[in-house]
Structure 1
Amino acid sequence: MSSVATLPAEERIGRNRLGTSAIFMVNGTAIGLWAVHIPLIGAAQRIDEFLLGMMLLTVAAGAIAAMPVAGWLAGRYGADRTTLGFAASFVLVMSLPVLAPGLPSLFAAALLFGICNGGLDVAMNAQATDVERVRARPTMSSFHGFWSLGGLAGAAIGGLLIGVGLDEGGAMLLAVVLFALVLALIWRWVQPLPDPDRHEAEPHFMLPNRASLALGLLAMMVMVVEGASADWSALHLIQNTGATPATAAAGFAAFSLAMAGCRFIGDAATARFGRVSVLRGGGVLIALGFLVATLVPVAPLAAAGFGLIGLGAANIVPILIGAAARLPGVSPGAGVAAVTTIGYFGFLAGPPLIGLLAHGIGLAASLGLLALAGIVLLLAAGRVVVRD
């Protein structure tokens, strides 16, 4: 049997795309499962929002520490090997926080979870960039669309399995087995791709100038919105709308479905209406979504509010990263690296900060404040992104 490396170039690139898409979907599914298990972890450990927030902060700390290491590993050994290594590690540790018997082991498991997830995030995006480059056409949105589809599947399947009694780690253990089989299937598909035009490597990090800082802060704000919706929607529906742990998955499912759908049509929408209009429309939907989700104490309507948030947020970060690649006087690689680094800090650190704030003013009020993010985006879009 011939290896993947000896296949025709088009088929080899196609298999790389399929394999990388599968890893995005595995990671998204695992994060969806994680999101619906957060209330169960709190109940099993008998901890409040403050300690849940500290646990999420531990996840964030592990991810932030792993990201530059993953970038170095991708440069040293290739994005393909780094992606596969972190994917396997992530699948091995993803069930540990749910199975932890006490607080010390919970925080240790959360740290490992964060390290493996943060490393995989950087590595699989690097591999996705390689696939997009050799295809010579926009592809990145579809990878992130598969991540969102995975989040939807994880939330829906997790809610179902919890509803039938697999609420003490059984759903996560079943997922570990299935994900391991997926990785075994696509392992040889994810391969290094040629890059004859690459010369001296551009710097991965830079001190942001005024323009890249503005884009990065908007990306960070929107990633706070995404992270908060992923990590806190289920607990909010349980606490403030009377939803059960099984049905509370509807909030994250609505958010993920909206994100996935919009990401698969994002390139066409941007071409039709322009970047600034898409950003402004996204800001309006984010603000409206948080108002509905936090002010309407009816579970289906609150879940629909999270769906509006997903519609609004879906294409904002890709547009901001694209704008970073076109900044005058800044190399595309350095601009994208700066904006992505600032933005990812919001995704990782935002949810634990929401938990700390919820300890003082309540979870609904803390999430409701994020409606301001949509208003800021509406007002700032025309100033930081050049019109089409």
Structure 2
Amino acid sequence: MDLTLTASQLLRWRLAIFAIFLSSGLSVATWAARVPEIKDAVSVDRAELGLMLLAGGIASIVGLSLSSVVLARFGARRGMMGAIAVFASGLAVIGIGADTLHSAPVVVVGLMLWGFGNGAVDVMMNVEGAAIENTTGKTLLPLFHAFFSFGTVLGAGIGILAIAWGMPPITHLAATAVLIVAIGVVSVLNVPRREAAMDPEAGEERGTWRERLALAMSAWREPRTYALGVVMLGMAFAEGGANDWLALGVVEGHGESAALGAAGLAVFSVSMTLVRMFGGPLVDRFGRVAVLRVLSVLAAAGLLLFIYAPNVPLVFAGAALWGAGVSLGFPLGMSAAADDPARAAARVSAAATIGYVAFLAGPPLLGLISEHIGLLNTLLILVVLIVASGLASPAARPLKGSGVGAGGVRAH
């Protein structure tokens, strides 16, 4: 089934995937904004809370790993809607567990539902975003990932208002869950059916379950998958490390105030989001590999400046370079994994699993190491991983027949 879309259909498809990225980010910030109240409601300490959050992280990795199996069984449209419903229901369960039952195990169940659904939809929405890239011939995944960031900002803002108005977590989380499901229904209705996404029109031959499952798992036997995994691992490790340790590095490493620590993290986040918003045309002009190499140099230089800067302005400059440098590693890795539409789901799932394991497991590991060698010295590990990511960047070179990421396009 070959796609021939009108301009209106293509626009609706793009807007639908933008909305799904945004709703995923919205879900993250919604429960994160209420974590202090949830912690108090279920009477756990910080260590126990950390284990609860770890359960959600592990469920995310399981969702990522099984997303290609979900696609093989249900197709992208039903798979995305199901995953959205699962992570939205997870939000509601978190609220019930905290507010109504005051039960840490119920909150953990909610976190696991949220994590599994969000992990699964992450792969599927990236596969759809890459398909839009191939249809338009333009690099768009960085912009899609910027909409995820917009969703987190929106969720944080709504969270601030909900807390200021005295809205209990169950009301806030349940209302957001309903909103996310509504966004999902409208969005999925505007996603075209595609053979490559295993959801052709009713009555068309889809192949046997065994054939579709074999295709879904095939990426783990390809060396390019692991090379792209290195690209994404280094950048995801550095991004996750910043989220967890940058502010503390400003405070404990450089002896500055907590307010300046928060400001440093804001500089990193704004820099990363801006490059994601406007990075697509750079990739179309210069190519994935060249952009990834330059950004790995920027990220490594920014980290070294952050670690060794003698004053606050240079610390902030380092944070800005760090954020800009890591901004496109993950989306461009996803884009490269999806170069061949027929194998996009399997390859994106495999490469994303490698990257997300680093994103989720890396920062706690840095914390353990920092107890022995100091936080700023520990961040040097990120420099090494970023260099490895840059060296592996040739793996992101577009496959033969792909119309995205090779460079040479002068206008976006």
Give the TM-score taking structure 2 as reference length.
0.70
Q: Report the number of matched residues.
A: 374
Residue equivalent to 1:150: 151
Select which of 75, 82, 97 maps to 1:85: 82
Residue equivalent to 2:402: none
The answer to whether the aligner puts 1:107 opposite 2:108 as a matched pair is yes
Residue equivalent to 1:3: none
The answer to whether the aligner puts 1:22 opposite 2:27 as a matched pair is no
The 1-side partners of 2:159 and 2:392 are apart by 37
Aligned-residue offset at 1:79: 0.7
The 1-side partners of 2:173 and 2:307 are apart by 29
The alignment partner of 1:92 has SS state of helix
Larger deviation: 309-318 or 50-59?
50-59
Deviation per CA, 1:30-88: give whole Å up to 9, x if none: 3244555556766775534x545433432222122223433222233221121122112
Residue equivalent to 1:226: 239
The 2-side partners of 1:266 and 1:190 are apart by 25
Select which of 239, 243, 247 maps to 2:258: 243
The alignment partner of 1:203 has SS state of helix
Residue equivalent to 1:4: none
Aligned-residue offset at 1:370: 2.3
Select which of 72, 75, 88 maps to 2:72: 75
Residue equivalent to 2:278: 265
Deviation per CA, 1:320-349: give whole Å up to 9, x if none: 44555679xxx7776555433322332333
Aligned-residue offset at 1:24: 0.5
Larger deviation: 16-25 or 344-353?
344-353
Residue equivalent to 2:354: 342
The alignment partner of 2:276 has SS state of helix
The answer to whether the aligner puts 1:116 opposite 2:129 as a matched pair is no
Equivalent AA in structure 2 for residue 223 of structure 1? A
Select which of 47, 54, 58 maps to 1:61: 58
Aligned-residue offset at 1:21: 1.0
Residue equivalent to 2:227: 214
The alignment partner of 2:24 has SS state of helix
The 2-side partners of 1:303 and 1:177 are apart by 39
Residue equivalent to 1:5: none
Q: Against the structure 1 CA distance between its residues 255 and 113, is the aligned structure 2 distance closer, same or farther, given a 3 Å change threshold?
A: farther
Q: Against the structure 1 CA distance between its residues 163 and 234, is the aligned structure 2 distance closer, same or farther, given a 3 Å change threshold?
A: farther
The alignment partner of 1:372 has SS state of helix
Aligned-residue offset at 1:288: 4.3
Equivalent AA in structure 2 for residue 47 of structure 1? D
The unaligned stretches of length 5 or more in structure 1 are: 1-7
The 2-side partners of 1:40 and 1:293 are apart by 33
Identity across matched positions, percent: 32
Cα RMSD (Å) of the superposition? Answer: 4.4
Instruction: Say whether the 8 Å CA contact 1:36–1:155 is kept in structure 2.
Output: yes
The alignment partner of 1:109 has SS state of helix
Equivalent AA in structure 1 for residue 241 of structure 2? A
Q: Against the structure 1 CA distance between its residues 210 and 181, is the aligned structure 2 distance closer, same or farther, given a 3 Å change threshold?
A: closer
Deviation per CA, 1:289-317: give whole Å up to 9, x if none: 44566677999986765543331112223
Q: Against the structure 1 CA distance between its residues 30 and 324, is the aligned structure 2 distance closer, same or farther, given a 3 Å change threshold?
A: closer
Equivalent AA in structure 2 for residue 350 of structure 1? G
Deviation per CA, 1:198-247: give whole Å up to 9, x if none: 99868233344555423322311211222333455567778775436xx9
Instruction: Say whether the 8 Å CA contact 2:65–2:353 is kept in structure 1.
Output: no
Equivalent AA in structure 1 for residue 126 of structure 2? N
Residue equivalent to 1:47: 45
